[in-house]
Amino acid sequence: MSREVLVVIHPRRSVVREIAQRVLDQFVAAGVAPRVLRDEAELLDLHCENVVPPDDAAALGVELVLVLGGDGSLLRGAELARSAEAPLLGVNLGHVGFLAEAEPDALESTVDHVVRKDYQVEERMTVDVTVRHRGELTYQGWALNEVSLEKVDRSRMLECIVEVDNRPLSRWGCDGMICSTPTGSTAYAFSAGGPVMWPGVEALLVAPISAHALFARPLVLAPTSSVAVEVLPSTPAVLSCDGRRSVDVVAFSRVEVTRGRRPVRLAVVHPRSFTDRLVAKFGLPVSGWRGRTRT
C-alpha cells in the first residue's frame, strides 16, 4: 500500500506556489504520494497526480497532514487531520505561526523527517460545544483554540450569565465570552487579557471580552469542568469555533463547553521548549541571562 500525505496550502499567497510545488516534488521523489485539495491546486496551478475535493480529503488513509501557511491554514488543516485521526504538521508561511512546527528555512529537512517517519506525536486538548434554545439542540461543534460568543450589534452589550460546574458564577454585560484551550491561550484569549498556558497544562480558560464589571478576570478551570453561558434578551450573538465555523445564537440560548472528546494530534520534528517558542514568536528580551551557575 502506497504512503500518502495530504498537503494543505494557503492559496492566496503568491510566494506559496513555488514552495508548495517543491514540497510535492520532494515527496514524489521519495516515493510518498502527496494529495492536494482541488481548489488549492487550481488556484496555484500545482502539478500533482492526486487532487481531491475538500470533503473528507484526509479520511482515506493519509498518514499525515502537512500545512504550508499561517495559523489560519493550520486550523483548517486541523479539521481534516482530526477527522482522519492523522497527525498535523505545519510550516509557517504566515506571521506569528504559533501552531506551526517549522519555519521556511527548515522546510526541506521537515519534509525529509516526514518521509523517514522521524517525528513524535503529541496530543492537544480540544473543546466541544453545544447550543440549546429552550432545551432544543441547535448546534454542536468543537475547537482546537477557542470557542467565542460575541455580540452582533456594536452599539449594545451582550448580557449573559456564566455558569461553572452547574453553578452560576456571574452575570456580565460585555462584548463577548471566550472559552479556550491551553493551545488557544496564545490566540484570541491572549488578546482579551488571558494568561499564557503551557501546552502540557490541562485546563479550560474562560475570559470575558471587555466586561463592564469589577470581577471580570480570566479564569483557569479544571479540565473536567463544564462551562455554560446563558444568553439574556439584550442583543443577538454569534458563536464561533476557531474563527472558522460560526452560528447565530438567539436570546434564551444556552452555550455549553466541555473538554473535547477527541484531541488534535500534532507532529513534532524539531523539538524545543515552549519557553523558547514564546521568546522567538514574541521577540522577548533575554539579553543578560546567564542560566544556572555550574558547580
Catalytic positions, written as ranges: 71
Rounded to whole angstroms, the Cα distance separating 288 from 242 reads 38
Task: Count the neighbouring beta carbons within 10 Å of the beta carbon of residue 199.
Answer: 17
HSE-up of residue 213 (Cα within 13 Å, Cβ side): 22
Q: How far apart are CA 242 and CA 142, in angstroms?
A: 8
Half-sphere exposure of 202 (CA within 13 A, CB side): 9
Distance CA 279, CA 46 (A): 36
Q: For residue 295, how many other CB atoms are within 10 A of its CB? A: 3
User: Residue 80 is placed in which grid cell?
Assistant: 481534516
Spatial contact of 6 and 40, defined as CB atoms under 8 Å apart: no
